[in-house]
Amino acid sequence: MEIDHDLKRDVAELIQWEATLLDRRRWADWIDLYTEDAVYWVPSWANEEETVSDPEAHLNLIYMRDRGGLEDRIFRIESRDSYASLPLDRTVHVVGNVLIEKVDGDEIAAFANCLIHSYGKKGGQTRASLYDFTLRRQADGTLRITRKKITFIDDRLEGPVDVYHL
């Protein structure tokens, strides 16, 4: 595949923005990166080597069929009434290995990896995710996230896990 450097820059920019907005707790701006019909999927591990494959029939860590699920999470964080979210853990996401898998009309499939360091009452821990994105070009020319699958590498979770840990 011939590399479209403009597209690659746009894709990397969006994925890095997402990580930055989470770490800076700019929740409304973060949500805006997603289309209203965006699917957000964190499969559970079916066994030591594979995650589950069918979110409608298998247990997931998180599976949201549209952006409303992310809005629920922000509602909960901002309520200051969630035991697990007060105090809020500090996080740093470091995104890398951004690669375009394929382009299909307005939609771009992309890979990325992420190391996430979080720090809370029980100390710090560093975990990792594989990201599978589908991005869609909007009418105004900008890119938005229309699907994000997060393969959370850690499988024996210490402490509560929310959207900003992943």
Partner 1 sequence: MADGELMSTFGGLVDDRVDDGVFRVDRSIYTDPGVFDVEMERLYERGWVYLCHESQVPETGCYFAAEIGLQPVVVTRQQDASLKTFINACSHRGAILTPLKQGKALVFTCRFHGWAYNCDGRCIRIKNEVEGFGEDGFDREQYNLTEIARTESYRGFVFGSLTDNVEPIADYLGAAATWIDLLVEQSPEGLEVVPGSSTYVIRGNWKMQMENAVDGYHVSTVHRVFAATVGNREQRDGSTGMAQTEGGRITGKVPSGAYDLGNGHMSIWATHTNPERRPIYRKKEWLEANFPPEHVDWILTRGRNLGVFPNVMIMDNPSTQIRVVRPIAADRAEVTVYCIAPIGEDRKVRAARLRKFEDFYLTAGMATSDDMAALEDTYAGAFGRAARWNDFNRGLNTMVNGPDEGAKALGFNPVSSSPSWENETLFFGFYRRWRDMMEVGS
Which residues here bind partner 1, judged by CB under 8 A? 42-48, 51-52, 56-63, 68, 71-73, 75-76, 79, 81-84, 121-122, 155-162
Residue nearer to partner 1 on the CB measure, 67 or 147: 67
> Using an 8 Å Cβ cutoff, are 85 and 77 in contact?
yes
Smallest separation, CB 155 to partner 1 (Å): 7
Find, among 104, 106, 108, the residue nearest to 12 by Cα: 108
Residue nearer to partner 1 on the CB measure, 17 or 45: 45
Residue nearer to partner 1 on the CB measure, 71 or 107: 71
C-alpha atoms less than 13 angstroms from C-alpha of 110 in its C-beta half-sphere? 28
Which amino acid belongs to residue 43?
A: P
- The string over 117-138, giving b where at least 16 C-beta atoms fall within 10 Å of a residue's C-beta and e elsewhere, is ebebeeeebebebebebbbbbe
Smallest separation, CB 88 to partner 1 (Å): 11
Residue nearer to partner 1 on the CB measure, 96 or 124: 124
